[in-house]
């Protein structure tokens, strides 16, 4: 556990957010995606530090390949006195487990690996059953890939609803979806998504989707909150923006005497979405939590950060394209419609 002073998670300034269900959820989470840089052991060590520092929201996923190691740390923390009710543990089913029985098996395996009786939330990691080999390049393609198929997605969602009914899962969440897809999911779901995980950082604020989530009582969770500086090299392009080099971010950081990364986290919390940063370094782990929950940005600073928007999507998802797709933009419904096999304008599945 961390030797540094933990954040007082009981203070008014750090009071949890409320989901539509009435359940509480911490304002800041700890990610467990080590990218290509950190193995399971390093992620487990980081999580142990994070729990000692005061993090109580843990973001996991089956595809990260480290849930067994994460589970060992969670079990240790519970034995050391952390209450299960104070933790909010989330996992995700990967794209190769979209068939209903496979989805159920995936969640059951996550429960076993994480050594838990229930998950606070389960997300569908991507709305497509398109997957790829680990560390695949951006030009890799799944020959069986297909566009978004709403009927198939809802069969998957119904299977996850059954896990909520069984008490194995408390909330369901979507991830990497759009307004167009969420509209269809909300229309047909018996149990509405309570959370939506999406890329969010100052240069990619996703204002319309963010507001849509709030309007429908869906809590936004922001991945890549620092602009994903540690993302794999294969996921970088020359046009990508570095959030921590943006003038408004740097100006606020310099005025406050803090690192630009901490400005990004303060922005997330002040805006109302939940950032899920990862670090393997103790000082950064603790500093991230303190900065996010203490000395909030002023309204003037928040207004200043509106100018940081660059529509800079960093996680483009190229590897999930189907053979006939035109570009990665086909994944994101950029004109408000869901593309079919031959891109925009072709019939939706």
How confident is the model over 38-86, as pLDDT tens digits?
999 999 999 999 999 999 999 999 999 999 999 999 999 999 999 999 9
344, part of any domain: no
Q: Point out the annotated binding site for substrate.
A: 125
Mean pLDDT computed over 275-304: 96
CATH number at residue 283: 3.20.20.100
Mean pLDDT computed over 279-297: 96
List, as own/partner pairs, every contact residues 312-315 make where C-beta atoms lie below 8 angstroms and the sequence separation is at least 24, other chains included.
312/203, 312/204, 312/239, 312/240, 312/241, 313/199, 313/204, 314/199, 314/201, 314/204, 314/224, 314/227, 314/228, 314/231, 314/235, 314/236, 314/240, 315/176, 315/199, 315/223, 315/224, 315/228, 315/231, 315/235
What domain count does the chain have? 1
Q: Point out the annotated binding site.
A: 125
Active-site pick, 38, 55, 64, 148: 64
16, part of any domain: no
Check if 64 is active-site. Answer: yes
10, part of any domain: no
Question: Do 63 and 82 form a contact (C-beta atoms < 8 A)?
Answer: no
Look up tokens 């398109």; give the residue. Answer: 130
9, part of any domain: no
202, part of any domain: yes
Question: Do 316 and 235 form a contact (C-beta atoms < 8 A)?
Answer: yes
In this prediction, residue 1 carries a pLDDT of 45
272, part of any domain: yes
Other Cβ atoms less than 10 A from the Cβ of 11: the count is 10
83, part of any domain: yes
Does 5 or 221 have the greater pLDDT score? 221
Tell me how far CA of residue 15 lies from CA of 170, 267, 299, 330, in angstroms: 20, 17, 20, 39
Which residues constitute the domain of residue 75?
24-331
């Amino acid at each position: 556990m961390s030797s540094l002073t933990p954040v007082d998670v009981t203070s008014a300034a750090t009071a949890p957010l409320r989901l539509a269900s009435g359940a509480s959820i911490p304002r800041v989470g700890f990610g467990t995606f080590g990218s290509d840089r950190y193995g399971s052991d390093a992620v487990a060590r980081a999580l142990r530090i994070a729990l000692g520092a005061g993090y109580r929201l843990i973001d996991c996923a089956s595809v990260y390949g480290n849930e067994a190691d994460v589970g060992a740390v969670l079990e240790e923390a519970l034995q050391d006195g952390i209450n299960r009710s104070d933790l909010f543990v989330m996992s995700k089913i990967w794209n190769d487990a979209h068939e209903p029985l496979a989805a159920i098996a995936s969640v059951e395996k996550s429960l076993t690996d994480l050594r838990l009786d229930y998950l606070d939330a389960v997300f569908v990691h991507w709305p497509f059953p398109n997957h790829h080999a680990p560390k695949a390049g951006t030009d890799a393609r799944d020959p069986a890939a297909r566009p978004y198929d709403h009927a198939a997605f809802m069969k998957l969602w119904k299977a996850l609803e059954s896990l909520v009914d069984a008490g194995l899962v408390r909330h369901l969440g979507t991830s990497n979806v759009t307004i167009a897809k969420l509209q269809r999911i909300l229309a047909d779901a018996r149990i509405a998504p309570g959370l939506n995980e999406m890329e969010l950082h100052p240069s990619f604020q996703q204002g319309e989707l963010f507001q849509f989530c709030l309007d429908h009582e869906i809590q936004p969770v922001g991945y890549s909150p620092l602009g994903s500086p540690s993302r794999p090299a294969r996921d970088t392009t020359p046009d990508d923006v570095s959030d921590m080099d943006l003038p408004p971010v740097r100006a606020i950081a310099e005025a406050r005497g803090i690192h630009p990364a901490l400005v990004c986290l303060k922005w997330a919390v002040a805006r109302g979405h939940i950032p899920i940063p990862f670090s393997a370094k103790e000082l950064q782990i603790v500093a991230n939590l303190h900065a996010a929950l203490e000395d909030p940005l002023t309204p003037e600073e928040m207004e200043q950060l509106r100018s940081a928007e660059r529509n800079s999507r960093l996680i483009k998802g190229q590897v999930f394209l189907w053979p006939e797709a035109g570009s990665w933009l086909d994944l994101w419904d950029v004109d408000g419609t869901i593309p079919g096999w031959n891109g925009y304008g072709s019939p939706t599945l």
